[in-house]
Structure 1
């Protein structure tokens, strides 16, 4: 019988709607895009009352004010990055329990449907304020905010809507040929 709890550092395991998903290591372009957006947001948040969580951080989508279902902690999501403001999160074991203000996923070939449909529906249904999908194949940024979806080019200055004065532009990013 296989060990379903086995964890390989090159495989990301997450649970979505009770189903276990495993993803291989991403293409180097994923890391290039991740580094740019993570650095931009991290610099902006310096000294502010928001916490930026990096990839490989387990997230349990729940209100930290309510009792946590231990079963949910064993089935975390693993966003590429997320932001929680005003200390509205709790650390339980290795999981952050929160409804993030901002979540960003970077599309990989293996995650197109997951990021564009399954996770988007879940994040919005759970109350995530703003959800971004970065696609380095099409060089687009899809922004879901207040029931609206807008698509931008990597050439555009894209506003992070939950903040008054933060924009992200991926114009100067150097991607590898795919």
Structure 2
């Protein structure tokens, strides 16, 4: 096996609209951006009635107060990062069952259409309040909130709209040149 082959451990599998998608491990810039975002949320949410879930967490996009279809649990989606407010989630097996208040996807070259179209449409149609698409390829952040799309650069202080006092700026992160 060459170093360009992917083992199953390096493949993310998720189900979107009943279609199975598999993607390879992302570029290191993905991890750098992810770490900055996750740490910002984790530190902000300490001691609050909110939960931030890290990458590789299986999510079943369903209201936890409604009956869950077993088949839906077999077809999770795997966002890069998501936040659930007021403990509105349930753990069923390895799945978090919830409609998150916030979801963030970090774009990789292979996920541009997936994150900008397919996942965006799915998340917003299910009632996710705020969706971010963070793109280290062009240093942009698209924010979908309150039926509006706004684009920011990594140099901007970007307000997380579901909270009163959280802003995130990515200008000081050091990315690899691609």
**TM-score normalised by structure 1 residue count:** 0.96
Aligned to 2:78: 78
Gaps (5+ residues) in structure 2? Answer: 1-6
Aligned counterparts of 2:143 and 2:69: Cα–Cα separation in 1: 30
- 1:11-160 maps to which residues of 2 (within 5 A)? 11-160=11-160
Aligned counterparts of 2:90 and 2:84: Cα–Cα separation in 1: 10
Aligned counterparts of 2:88 and 2:114: Cα–Cα separation in 1: 26
Aligned counterparts of 1:41 and 1:175: Cα–Cα separation in 2: 20
Shift of 1:158: 0.1
Shift of 1:16: 0.2
**TM-score normalised by structure 2 residue count:** 0.96
Q: Residue deviations 1:17-40, cap 9 Å, x none? A: 000000000000000000001001
4+ aligned runs moved over 2 Å, structure 1: none
What secondary structure sits across from 1:76 in the alignment? coil
What secondary structure sits across from 2:123 in the alignment? helix
Shift of 1:9: 1.6
What secondary structure sits across from 2:10 in the alignment? coil
RMSD of Structure 2 on Structure 1 (CA): 0.7
Q: Residue deviations 1:70-89, cap 9 Å, x none? A: 10000000000000010100
Aligned to 2:4: none
Gaps (5+ residues) in structure 1? Answer: 1-6
